[in-house]
Homo-oligomer: A and B are copies of this chain.
Amino acid sequence: MTSKSPSDFLKNIIGKPVIVKLTSSIEYKGILACLDAYMNISLEQAEEWIEGQFKNKYADIFIRGNNVFYVTPQKKRNLQDL
């Protein structure tokens, strides 16, 4: 995926499933709804994974940018049941 800047990279994957890893090694898997210049991120149909364990589901979640470690497209989504 060629993008001129990292924010282009992120805009290219809006509406797609992503994994958002936070500095505290917690992961959120969901549909990237939108994000802003501070890397604040809104996810839809989000799952919370802590140390590889599925923990929680959120219809919508707003994650504050300064905790974001990396964002990567999620190849295959197999949704979890609570």
Q: Residues of A at under 8 Å CB distance from B?
A: 1-10, 13, 22-24, 33-36, 39-42, 44, 58-73, 75
Contacts and interface: CB of A to CB of B under 8 A. Distances in A.
27 contacts: A1-B60, A2-B33, A3-B33, A4-B34, A5-B34, A5-B36, A6-B35, A6-B36, A6-B40, A6-B41, A6-B42, A7-B36, A9-B33, A9-B42, A9-B62, A22-B69, A23-B67, A39-B40, A59-B73, A59-B75, A60-B73, A61-B70, A61-B72, A62-B72, A63-B70, A64-B65, A64-B70
Contacts of A42: 3, 6, 9
A64 B39 contact: yes
Contacts of A61: 70-72
